[in-house]
């Protein structure tokens, strides 16, 4: 019998969501789920709509998924919202639209976040975003700072390789500052450890993801949390992000619980797969 106290808001799940949740082991829920939200443009293209409509619908999906995560007491949810590469490659008009959409999403959903006890945070090179966007982001973070449920982290102007470079620089600077005098470069590098880098990452305050979800069927990581997902389970669905809902989040968790996590070592044979699984990419 489970010793875990069920979340108090399970009654807010839909009937379909509850049917999936009842198949889960509450003692084995992931602590941190990271999602690569992909497929907004293709979703719009299939409907002969402009890409902007796909992004708008994708913003709606964010709140549906966040609320389901909150109802099952998921501690950490990180969403890959806007990458450094996107900033460089997308047309300027689309980037401007995404910045406006971000501000609109934050302003329009802070009350819902507070109602769901969700705290919002950010990772990435935030200081390179437009000033008015930064101000809205800070306002939303301040408005939700006292919430104690799910922490929703938006990865904005984010790239994992840049994050690692930033972390190594910061770690070396910290090591140097802790010495009584200057060290030769070789000695400084010899003192650098994985722990130093981990503690200097944008995500140092949160656990590494247990599960990475990618929508739209693409089999790649796209420079997302490369250090942190070293041993995460990976789940890929053909579903485009604008069609992704809390039900599909629970389906991904069900698949996750059928895996045998190995962390680089030997493990037991995998458990039986659930009925009608979505397409998955096993690590």
Strands of the sheet with 76-83, listed across from one edge: 119-123, 151-158, 76-83, 32-36, 211-214, 233-236
The answer to whether the CB of 149 falls within 8 A of the CB of 112 is no
- Point out the catalytic residue in the list 86, 109, 147, 157: 86
Q: How far is CA 230 from the centre of its chain?
A: 15
The answer to whether the CB of 256 falls within 8 A of the CB of 234 is no
The Cα 112–Cα 115 span in angstroms is 5
- Catalytic, 86? Answer yes
- Catalytic, 38? Answer yes
Strand partners, 269: none
- Point out the catalytic residue in the list 38, 73, 208, 210: 38
Phi-psi region of 263 (alpha: psi -120 to 50; beta: other; left: phi over 0): left
The Cα 37–Cα 243 span in angstroms is 11
The answer to whether the CB of 280 falls within 8 A of the CB of 235 is yes
Instruction: Name the residues annotated as catalytic.
Output: 38, 86
């Amino acid at each position: 019998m489970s010793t875990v106290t069920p979340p108090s808001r399970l009654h807010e799940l839909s009937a379909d969501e509850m049917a999936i949740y009842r198949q889960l082991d509450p003692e084995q829920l992931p602590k941190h789920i990271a999602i690569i939200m992909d497929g907004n443009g293709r979703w719009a293209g299939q409907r002969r709509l402009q890409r902007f409509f796909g992004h708008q619908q994708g913003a709606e999906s964010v709140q549906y998924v966040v609320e389901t995560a909150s109802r099952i007491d998921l501690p950490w949810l990180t969403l890959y919202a806007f990458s450094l590469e996107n900033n460089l490659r997308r047309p300027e008009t689309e980037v401007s639209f995404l910045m406006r959409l971000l501000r609109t999403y934050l302003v329009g959903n802070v009350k819902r976040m507070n109602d769901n006890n969700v705290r919002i945070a950010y990772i990435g090179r935030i200081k390179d975003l437009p000033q008015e966007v930064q101000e809205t982001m800070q306002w939303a973070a301040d408005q939700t700072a006292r919430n104690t449920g799910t922490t929703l982290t938006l990865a904005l102007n984010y790239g994992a390789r840049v994050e690692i470079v930033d972390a190594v620089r910061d770690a070396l600077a910290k090591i140097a500052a802790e010495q009584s005098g200057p060290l030769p470069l070789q000695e400084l590098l010899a003192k650098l450890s994985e722990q130093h880098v981990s503690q200097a990452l944008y995500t140092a305050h949160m656990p590494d993801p247990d599960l990475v979800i990618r929508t739209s069927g693409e089999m790649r990581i796209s420079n997302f949390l490369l250090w942190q997902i070293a041993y995460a389970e990976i789940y890929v669905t053909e579903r485009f992000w604008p069609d992704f809902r809390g039900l599909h989040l629970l389906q991904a968790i069900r698949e996750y619980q059928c895996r045998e996590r190995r962390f680089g070592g030997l493990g037991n044979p995998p458990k039986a797969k659930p009925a009608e699984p979505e397409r998955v990419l096993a690590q």
